[in-house]
Structure 1
Amino acid sequence: MADLIHPSQRGMTTTMIGIGISICLVLVKFSAGYFGHSYALIADGAETSADVLSSVLLWVGLRIALKPADNEHPYGHGKAEPLAGIVISLFLAGASIWIALHAIHYIITPHSLPKSFTLYILAVIILIKEGMFRYVYKVGTEINSQAVKSDAYHHRSDAITSLAAFIGIVIALIGGKGYEGADDWAALIASVIIFYNAIVLIRPAIAEIMDTAPGVEIVNQVKEISEQVTEVQEVEKCYVRKMGFDYYVDLHILVDAGLTVEEGHRISHIVKQRLLDSEMRIANALIHIEPYYKLN
Structure 2
Amino acid sequence: MAPTRLERGLRATFLGMVANILLAAAKLVAGIVGHSHALVADAVESLADLFSSVIVWRGLVVAAEPADEDHPYGHGKAEPIAAAVVSTMLLLAAAGITFQAAREILQPHHAPSGYTLVVLILAVAAKESLFRVVLREGIRVESSAVRTDAWHHRSDAITSLAAGIGISVSLLGGKGYEAADDVAAIMAAGIIAWNGGRLLRPALNELMDASPDPAIAERIRHIAATTPGVARVEKCIVRKMGYHFFVDMHVEVDPQMTVQHAHEIAHVVKDLVRGELPTVRDVLVHIEPAGEQSGVRSAALVAHVSKRGASATESSSSPSSSSSS
TM-score over 0.5 for the alignment? yes
**Cα offset, 1:215, TM superposition:** 2.2
Local SS of the residue matching 1:238: strand
Partner Cα separation in structure 2 for residue 214 and residue 173 of structure 1: 49
Alpha-carbon offset, residue 279 of structure 1: 2.7
Identity between Structure 1 and Structure 2 (%): 46
Shift of 1:294: 6.1
AA in 2 matched with 1:265: H
Number of aligned residue pairs: 293
Q: 4+ residue stretches of structure 1 with deviation over 4 A? A: none
Which range moves more in the overlay, 12-21 or 200-209? 12-21
Q: Distance in 1 between matches of 2:127 and 2:228?
A: 52
Q: Which residue of 2 aligns with 1:276?
A: 274
SS in 1 for 2:210: coil
Cα distance in 2 for partners of 1:66, 1:243 equals: 10
Give, in angstroms, the shift of residue 64 of structure 1: 0.5
Distance (Å, rounded) in 2 between the aligned partners of 1:61 and 1:219: 26
Assess if the C-alpha contact under 8 Å between 1:65 and 1:80 holds in 2: yes
Task: Give the partner amino acid of 1:204.
Answer: P
Residue equivalent to 1:224: 222
Residues 87-123 of structure 1 show CA distances to partners (whole Å, capped at 9, x for unaligned) of 0011111111111111011111101111111111111
- Distance in 2 between residues matched to 1:279 and 1:28, nearest whole Å: 45
CA contact (8 A) 1:168 1:184 kept: yes
The residue that corresponds to 1:107 in the other structure is 105
Correspondence for 2:243: 245
Q: 2:23 aligns with which of 25, 39, 60?
A: 25
Instruction: Give the Cα separation in 2 of the matches to 1:122 and 1:51.
Output: 16
Alignment correspondent of 2:213? 215
Rounded to whole Å, the distance in 2 between the matches of 1:193 and 1:181 is 19
Task: Flag structure 1 segments of 5+ consecutive residues without an equivalent.
Answer: none
What corresponds to 1:59 in structure 2?
57
Query: CA, structure 1 residues 280+224, in 2 after alignment: closer, same or farther (shift >3 Å)?
Result: farther
| Post-superposition offset of 1:13 | 1.4
Post-superposition Cα deviations, 1:176-214, rounded to whole Å, max 9, x if no partner, equal 000000011111111111011100000000000000111
Secondary structure of 1:283's counterpart equals: strand
Report the CA distance between 1:130 and its aligned residue. Answer: 0.3
Q: Which residue of 2 aligns with 1:92?
A: 90
- Structure 1 Cα separation of the partners of residues 189 and 111 of structure 2: 21
Q: Give runs of aligned pairs for residues 281-292 of structure 1, distance below 5 A.
A: 281-292=279-290
2:181 to 161, 172, 183: 183
Measured in 2, the distance between the counterparts of 1:142 and 1:280 equals 14
Letter matched to residue 167 of structure 1: I
Higher Cα radius of gyration = 2
* Cα offset, 1:276, TM superposition: 1.1
Give the conservation status (yes or no) of the 8 Å contact 1:8–1:65: no
Q: What is the TM-score of this pair, normalised by structure 1?
A: 0.97
Distance 2:236 2:69 in 1: 26
- The TM-score with structure 2 as length reference comes to 0.88
Q: Calculate the aligned-residue CA RMSD, in Å.
A: 1.1
Distance 2:266 2:250 in 1: 10
